[in-house]
């Protein structure tokens, strides 16, 4: 394994796991994985484990509880809709020949030690938690891969010796913002992804790699009996994470493991368009383009 000058900031879920799994299969490992243990899981409320008096045990319970929540839908789709899941895996093999094996690894219980020699859980209330900033401030010079969990505060982006990397599922700067994969399909007929340095602006940082992908072809069982909400969840459980991980893999290959980065492409502040989450009717039209 070749070590990358990279810290992966893990917001548990399919996307973070896809990044790490494709790195491992390509012979790369980050120097450090920081797994955020949320005291209040974003988007779900509640404070898991607040009744556990010992901090180490409480953190372990928090990690378990957030895995159950954040991995719920991909695991549920695989268990409850096997024919649909098999059709998804068959289609995704157009992007990666062993996509089913990759997804099996992603859906397994978390085992972060297989991806890096150094793994640190960090109890946080949010990305703006001072405990997270303190931990990252001790990192050696290099890069931090952001894997989700909210908006990165300027204080983290301003840390000395570190630059935050993000992968956006859209061709920057043309498609910024939310639902990037669906907007790309609706507007351009093809999914795309861009790797870039993060700045306080939304998807406005310097671009390091960007590319388009052929739309995968899914032969769904007929009749599917699948509502649009289920298909939408499937996109962000399987298709979007693999798309982002493939884009990161292309950057790692092109930069020899982040040792010789390509010349960054600056984005003009007035370029492109910032998109929001799609209205359900428009979302369903985009989903029909994919399935």
Residue 284 — very low, low, confident or very high, per pLDDT cuts 50/70/90? very high
State pLDDT tens for residues 65-103: 889 999 999 999 999 999 999 999 999 999 999 999 999
Expressed as residue numbers, the domain containing 281 is: 2-290
pLDDT at 33 over 70: yes
Please tell me the total count of domains within the chain. 1
Lowest mean pLDDT of 49-63, 111-125, 250-264, name the range. Answer: 49-63
- pLDDT value at 54 more than 60: no
pLDDT band at 47 (very low <50, low <70, confident <90, very high): low
pLDDT at 57: 74
What would the pLDDT profile of 191-247 be if each residue is shown by its tens digit? 999 999 999 999 999 999 999 999 999 988 776 678 999 999 999 999 999 999 999
More confident: 177 or 268: 177
Bigger pLDDT: 7 vs 220: 7
Least confident residue range of 21-35, 44-58, 131-145: 44-58
Phi and psi angles of residue 109, each rounded to the nearest 5 degrees, phi first: -55, 145
- To the nearest whole percent, how much of the chain has pLDDT over 70? 95
Q: pLDDT tens, 158-177?
A: 999 999 999 999 999 999 99
Q: What is the CATH number of the domain that holds 269?
A: 3.40.50.170
* Mean pLDDT of the residues in the chain: 93
The predicted pLDDT at position 221 comes to 76
pLDDT at res. 41: 66
């Amino acid at each position: 394994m070749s070590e990358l000058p990279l810290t992966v900031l893990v917001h548990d879920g399919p996307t973070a796991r896809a990044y790490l799994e494709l790195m491992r299969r390509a012979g790369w490992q980050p120097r450090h994985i920081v797994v955020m243990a949320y005291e209040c899981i974003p988007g779900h409320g509640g404070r898991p484990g607040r009744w556990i008096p010992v901090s180490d045990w409480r953190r372990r319970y928090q990690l378990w509880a957030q895995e159950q929540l954040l991995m719920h839908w991909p695991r549920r789709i695989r268990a409850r809709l096997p024919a649909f899941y098999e059709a998804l895996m068959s289609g995704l093999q157009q992007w990666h020949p062993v996509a089913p094996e990759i997804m099996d690894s992603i859906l397994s219980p978390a085992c972060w030690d297989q991806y890096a020699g150094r793994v640190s859980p960090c109890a946080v209330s949010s990305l703006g938690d001072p405990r997270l900033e303190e931990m990252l401030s001790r990192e050696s010079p290099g890069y931090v891969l952001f894997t989700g969990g909210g908006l990165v505060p300027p204080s983290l982006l301003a840390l000395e010796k570190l630059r935050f990397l993000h992968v956006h599922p859209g061709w920057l700067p043309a498609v910024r913002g939310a639902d990037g994969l669906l907007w790309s399909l609706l507007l351009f007929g093809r999914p795309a992804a861009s790797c870039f340095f993060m700045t306080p602006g939304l998807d406005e940082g310097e671009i390091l790699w960007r590319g388009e992908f052929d739309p995968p072809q899914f032969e769904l069982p007929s009749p599917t009996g699948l509502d649009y909400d289920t298909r939408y969840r499937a996109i962000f459980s399987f298709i979007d994470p693999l798309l982002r991980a493939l884009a990161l893999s292309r950057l790692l290959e092109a930069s020899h493991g982040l040792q010789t980065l390509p010349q960054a492409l600056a984005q003009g502040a007035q370029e492109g368009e910032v998109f929001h989450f799609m209205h359900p009717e428009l979302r369903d039209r985009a989903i029909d383009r994919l399935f």
